[in-house]
Structure formats: C-alpha cells, structure tokens
C-alpha cells in the first residue's frame, strides 16, 4: 500500500535523480575498475553496474563504491535481475530470496534502482495475475529498502516482449516502488511505435537505456548481443524515441547499454568518449524535434569541400606537384609566408604543405606524404565550433602560436584536421593568404581540363575500432546522413564501406574498414601508419575527354582488364566499339535501375598512400559505383611490387 516512504521512492531516487548521461559497464572493454575510470574520464555522471562485471571484479562492493566516490561518479542502476516474475512453486520463493540478496548488495554500492527484465525462463508461467502479484510483492520488499524497481520488456521475453505490455502490467501493479524501464533497442527492433510512450507518465519511467543498431534481419537476441552501437552509428530513430520520452516529463538519466563485438576489442577510452558525445547529440536532436530550447547550435551540413591539404616536403613535394599537373591541375598560388602551394582545376583546390615544423611536419613523419587535412565550406564557422565544443570535439590551435590561424580547425578522429571555411569569405581568404600565379591561357591544356567541376566525394580508410567513431563524428557534428552500406570484395578479404552525405548531396564521404590484413585497405593503414583520407573523387563533365587528356599528359592511370569490358557489353548492351573506347581510357561504368549513369576513372596510388578518381554522374545517380569496387581493388592489387613508387 502507498505510504509516505513509498511516495518518497516514487518521487525520485536518493542519488540518481536528475537528467544526466550514464553508461552501462557492459558497454566498455576491460576490468570493472578500467571501465569505471574510462566512464569518469569521458564525463559520465553515473554508471549502470552490470552484474557480471561486479561478479568478476576483485573489488568488494564497498570498495567499488569507494572507487566511484573517488572518481566523482555513482551507480545509478544495478542490472540485470533475471527470471523473476511468474515462476512456479519453490522457484518463486527462490526468486524472492535472490532479490533480497541483491538489495543487500545494492546497499553496499549505494544505489537504489534495479532492472528486472521480463522472464525468459522455460519455467516461467504467463499467467498475468501471478506476474502482477509477484511484482507487487517485490515492490513491498523494495520499498522497505528504499529501492525503486524498473520492469523492462526484453524483445525476446517469453511472455512479455513489448514495452506496451510491460506498462500495462506496471499500471496494474500500481505500486510506487515499481516502474518501467525503456530500452530503445527492445522497442525499435520490434518496430513498436515510439508514440506509444506518450501513455506512460514520466514519473513512472525508472530509467532509460539507449542503443542504436544497423538495420538487420536476424534473430533479435543475436542482433542485440553483437550489433548494438551508439546513437548516431546505426539506422534506428533514436531522436524520435528520446523525444517521446522527454515529452512525458522524464527527468532521469539517459544511459547507454551497448553490446557490440567491435567495442569489446576497442579501447574503453574511445568508446566512452564517443558514448558521451552520442548522448549529447541525441538529446539535442530530440529537443529540436520537440521545439524545445537547446544551448547547442544546430548541425550545419557542409556546403561542399573547399580544399584537400597534402603534407609533403623535398622531392616528395616535387613528385606530388608533378602528379597534380599530370592530372590537369595548375599551380595558381603560393602562400605569402609559408611553404604552401595551391593547385586548382575547375573548382577543386589541392594544397601541398611543405612546412618544416608544426602539425604538418609531425603528420608527415608519422604518415609519410599524405592527406593531412580537408577544408569544408560552412555558413557559420563559429557556430560549428561551438557545437563541436559541446560534443567534446577539440579545436586545433598551433602550439606556441594560438590565435594565428587563417581559419578555425577541428581535430578529426584519425588525427587529421578539418578546417572550416565560411562560404561567403572563401575567395577573400585565398586572396589574402596566397600570392596568385599566372592563370591558364584560354584554349590551353589546363583550360581545357577545366571541365572538371567539384570534389564529388572523399574516401577514408580507417581502423575497425574507429569505423563507428568516424560515422558518429560526421553525423553528430555536421548532420550527415547514412546512405549505402556495402561489403566490398577485395581479392584478399572483405571491406566494409559506409557512405555519408549532406541532405542535399553537396558533401559526401565514404568510410572503409577491413578485418583482413592483406586487403588494400589494411595495407594502406600499415603503409600510412594509421587511418585517414585515401582518395579524392572529382566530378567532371566529359570523362572520356578527361581520360584522354590525363593519359596524354603521362598520368599514371589504373589499367582495367579487358574482361571487364566484355562483361559491360553483355550487361548493358554496349556495342563493341563503345566498350573498346572505354577500355582505352580505363573508364568504368554503372547505372541504376532508372537508367541514371556513373562513369569512373582512377589514377594509380601515390606511394601506395592515396589516389584520385574522376567521376561523371548522369541524371540523378546517387551511388558510388559499388559494383565496380571489386574490379578497382583487383586492379590496384596488381601493382604491389615493393620497389614501385605508385601502385
């Protein structure tokens, strides 16, 4: 029966109330001690202690409590308590006895919330009256200890597998110490409408657990145990789900409960940092859906890629300049005070930075001649910087020279930089920083090549443990949207590829990672000592003319086998003459179901580190030539001689 003590329980937990970010220890790699430290360092206010982590720890519960106090965090939930409700005969009493023992343990941890997940035991009875009675009895026991019980519907629960059913039971139990726990995966994996949450009063939601996931068609338990990821790294509508929870008036923690094979082998520090960022991102997105005020500026999708910066010095810089020239670029400017040159073709800017000190030198020492930074055009750079700060993304400032930046810059996931170029000041910036050199004469070879227009997309190769971090970075900061995800067949293994782009398609990225050590992607990581941008795709108006011009200038272009063009004749109905013309240029072809076309032309890689692609999009083709990726990788794999400068 309700009493004053129970009313206090229902009004909020003694040490876990208030909106904040939390994370379940099961989400992180390592010992319980390592997990707690990583969570605290990332800025989490509390943790869910997962039972197996505590059982396997050498620390006693009181010692764990002391360690949390030293770290400035607390335990906001103990979980999971399994196979409780609806048990027959002596199993029911055993379940009640187990609950009392867990309540004792919770007192030592100084936490007052426990997760009871819906029963999966084959012994469990589905009798609703028994389930209600068991939870009401548990509520009385919990209230006597000052504990709040959250009942969660597991997506694979034996009798209760829907949060609507769990809420119906909690409502019938009608006990102040019994509420509901909402878990985004259990709801969204079963496609339960998030609007159904509106029926639940906010003060009856004990706790909220969040996880995103790629959209997969598989057994729910296996999907849950291996493929959950952070908000902003999957395909579930987390902002809409959280918005409905906030609409109820819920004021408690938003917590991450992630089961993911990648995370189990990834540094806990990185996952914890990404996790905190993901919660800030999804909370902000949910508030925007509700029209509520937020202190974080909205995401600004890039208006395009303004430049790609390469670090190279000495003969490497000379060779790189020659490569640019062979691809149709002209050196049109030199920096007024630095060893930096600007190369341009159409609207595409490439920069060679040969500075002998600072960031570019450090990056060059580690990675060799490489893409060290990109510049993106935005409407309001200062607003992007403020959003980045709120998401825990660090600004870059030259050591010893703060305030001397021509444009603001942010640290990227792999160590490279992302410069922010305000759209209405881009040309003035170039004019201010660079001394102009002679422009191409009308009718010249370089002028003819100006049919090249813009950067179509940038592609990065990243370590597996950074694959999801890159996605979160670009989605949370700039509002990029996930597009095609593909598994690409390299002759030496499988490559996972994920496309991201702005809603209008003006800025595109593809991210690639592989478990196989001998794939081209993995060899790039080994050659470049880490992940980063690997290739630059450039839009042109006439790819056949571009192919002829690059070869006439002596550019090292990728050779595509004759068998590929024989197949084009069969698949798309090309006549032999057209196919042979494409073969002479090394041009690849694809088209979508509506007949929109895509043509591609690849250079060979510079020092096995990066390469260029020219693309011609016909109609509304929105992909990246995925059917040709395996052909390109096989062609690149044929150039593996260790003494070769380009592969």
- Backbone φ and ψ for 148, nearest 5 degrees, come out as -110, 125
* CATH code reported for the domain at 304-637: 3.10.180.10
Report residue 494 as tokens. 């499988």
* pLDDT for the residue 640: 60
535 is in an annotated binding site: yes
* pLDDT for the residue 223: 84
CATH 3.10.180.10 in the chain is located at 304-637
- Backbone φ and ψ for 368, nearest 5 degrees, come out as 80, -170
pLDDT of 595 higher than 50: yes
Closest by Cα among 169, 230, 175, 241 to 208: 241
Say whether 362 sits in a helix, a strand or coil. Answer: helix
Whole-prediction pTM value?
Answer: 0.89
pLDDT of 84 higher than 70: yes
209 is in an annotated binding site: yes
In the chain, what percentage of residues exceed pLDDT 70? 93
Report residue 350 as tokens. 């490439």
CB 350 within 8 A of CB 343: yes
* pLDDT for the residue 10: 40
CB 603 within 8 A of CB 364: no
Say whether 282 sits in a helix, a strand or coil. Answer: helix
Q: Which residues are registered as beta bridge partners of 418? A: 374, 410
152 is in an annotated binding site: yes
* Residue 220: other Cβ atoms inside 10 A: 15
**Which positions ≥6 away from 575 have C-beta within 8 Å?**
569
* pLDDT for the residue 190: 94
SS (H, E, C) 292-359: CCCCCCCCCCCCEEEEEEEECCHHHHHHHHHHHHHCCCEEEEEECCCCEEEEEECCEEEEEECCCCHH
Average pLDDT over residues 73-86: 96
pLDDT of 332 higher than 90: yes
257 is in an annotated binding site: yes
Closest by Cα among 404, 398, 391 to 282: 391
pLDDT single digits (tens) 492-524:
888 889 999 999 999 999 999 888 788 878 887
Say whether 260 sits in a helix, a strand or coil. Answer: strand
Banded model confidence at residue 316, pLDDT cuts 50, 70, 90: very high
Q: Which residues are registered as beta bridge partners of 600? A: 588, 615
pLDDT of 8 higher than 80: no
* pLDDT for the residue 15: 43
Pairing of strands 330-335, 434-436: antiparallel
616 is in an annotated binding site: no
Torsion angle, alpha carbons of 112, 113, 119, 123, to 10: 0
292 is in an annotated binding site: no
pLDDT single digits (tens) 435-469:
998 665 544 554 454 489 999 999 999 988 889 99
pLDDT single digits (tens) 607-637:
989 999 999 999 999 999 999 998 999 898 8
Cis previous bond, 80, omega within 30 = yes
Report residue 31 as tokens. 């010992």
Q: What is the DSSP letter of 522?
A: H
* CATH code reported for the domain at 4-290: 3.20.20.150
Average pLDDT over residues 311-327: 97
**Which positions ≥6 away from 287 have C-beta within 8 Å?**
243, 246, 293, 294
CB 252 within 8 A of CB 206: yes
* pLDDT for the residue 484: 75
CATH 3.20.20.150 in the chain is located at 4-290
pLDDT of 103 higher than 50: yes
395: left (phi over 0), alpha (psi -120 to 50) or beta: beta
104 is in an annotated binding site: no
Report residue 551 as tokens. 């070869």
């Amino acid at each position: 029966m309700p009493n004053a003590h129970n009313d206090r329980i229902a009004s909020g937990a003694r040490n876990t109330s208030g909106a904040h970010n939390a994370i379940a220890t099961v989400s992180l790699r390592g010992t319980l001690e390592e997990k707690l430290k990583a969570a605290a360092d990332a800025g989490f206010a509390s943790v869910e202690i997962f039972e197996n982590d505590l059982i396997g720890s050498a620390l006693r519960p009181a010692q764990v409590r002391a360690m949390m106090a030293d770290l400035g965090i607390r335990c906001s939930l103990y979980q999971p308590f399994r196979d409780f409700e609806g048990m027959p005969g002596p199993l029911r009493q055993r379940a009640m006895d187990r609950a009392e023992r867990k309540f004792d343990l919770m007192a030592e941890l100084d936490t007052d919330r426990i997760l009871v997940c819906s029963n999966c035991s084959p012994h469990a009875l589905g009798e609703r009256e028994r389930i209600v009675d068991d939870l009401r009895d548990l509520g009385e026991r919990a209230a006597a200890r000052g504990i709040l019980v959250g009942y969660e519907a597991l997506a694979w629960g034996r009798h209760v597998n829907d949060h609507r059913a769990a809420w119906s039971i909690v409502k019938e139990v009608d006990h102040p110490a019994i509420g509901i726990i909402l878990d985004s995966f259990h709801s969204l994996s079963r496609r339960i409408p998030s609007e159904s949450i509106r029926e639940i009063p906010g003060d009856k939601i004990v706790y909220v657990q969040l996880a995103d996931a790629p959209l997969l068609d598989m057994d729910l338990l296996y999907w849950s145990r291996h493929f959950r990821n952070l908000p902003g790294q999957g395909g579930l509508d987390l902002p809409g789900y959280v918005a409905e929870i906030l609409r109820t008036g819920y004021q408690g923690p938003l917590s991450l409960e992630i089961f993911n094979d990648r995370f189990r082998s990834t540094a806990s520090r990185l996952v914890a940092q990404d996790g905190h960022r993901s919660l800030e991102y999804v909370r902000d997105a949910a508030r925007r859906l509700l029209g509520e005020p937020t202190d974080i500026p909205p995401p600004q999708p890039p208006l395009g890629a303004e430049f790609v910066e390469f670090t190279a010095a000495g003969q490497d810089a000379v060779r790189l300049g020659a490569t640019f020239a062979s691809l149709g670029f002209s050196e049109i400017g030199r920096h007024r005070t630095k060893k930096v040159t600007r190369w341009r073709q159409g609207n595409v800017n490439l920069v060679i930075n040969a500075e002998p000190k600072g960031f570019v030198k450090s990056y060059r020492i580690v990675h060799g001649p490489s893409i060290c930074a990109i510049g993106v055009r935005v409407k309001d750079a200062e607003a992007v910087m403020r959003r980045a700060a709120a998401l825990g993304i660090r600004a870059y400032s030259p050591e010893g020279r703060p305030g001397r930046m021509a444009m603001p810059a942010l640290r990227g996931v792999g160590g490279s930089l992302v410069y922010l170029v305000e759209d209405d000041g881009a040309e003035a910036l170039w004019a201010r920083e660079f001394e102009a050199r002679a422009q191409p004469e009308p009718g010249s070879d370089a002028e003819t090549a100006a049919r090249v227009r813009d950067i179509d997309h940038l592609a990065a190769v990243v370590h597996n443990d950074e694959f999801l971090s890159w996605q979160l970075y670009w989605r949370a900061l700039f509002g990029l949207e996930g597009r095609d995800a593909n598994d690409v067949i390299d002759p030496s293994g499988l490559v996972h590829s994920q496309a991201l782009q702005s809603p209008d398609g003006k800025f595109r990225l593809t991210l690639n990672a592989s478990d196989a050590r001998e794939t081209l992607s993995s060899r790039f990581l080994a050659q470049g000592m880490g992940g980063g941008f690997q290739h630059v795709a450039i839009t042109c108006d006439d790819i056949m003319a571009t192919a002829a011009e690059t070869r006439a200038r002596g550019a090292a272009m990728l050779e595509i086998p004759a068998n590929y063009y024989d197949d084009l004749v069969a698949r798309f109905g090309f006549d032999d003459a057209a196919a042979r013309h494409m073969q002479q240029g090394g041009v690849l072809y694809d088209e979508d179901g509506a007949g929109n076309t895509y043509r591609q032309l690849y250079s060979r890689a510079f020092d096995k580190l990066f390469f260029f692609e020219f693309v011609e999009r016909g109609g509304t083709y929105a992909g990246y030539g995925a059917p040709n990726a395996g052909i390109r990788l096989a062609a690149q794999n044929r150039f593996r001689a260790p003494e070769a400068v380009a592969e």
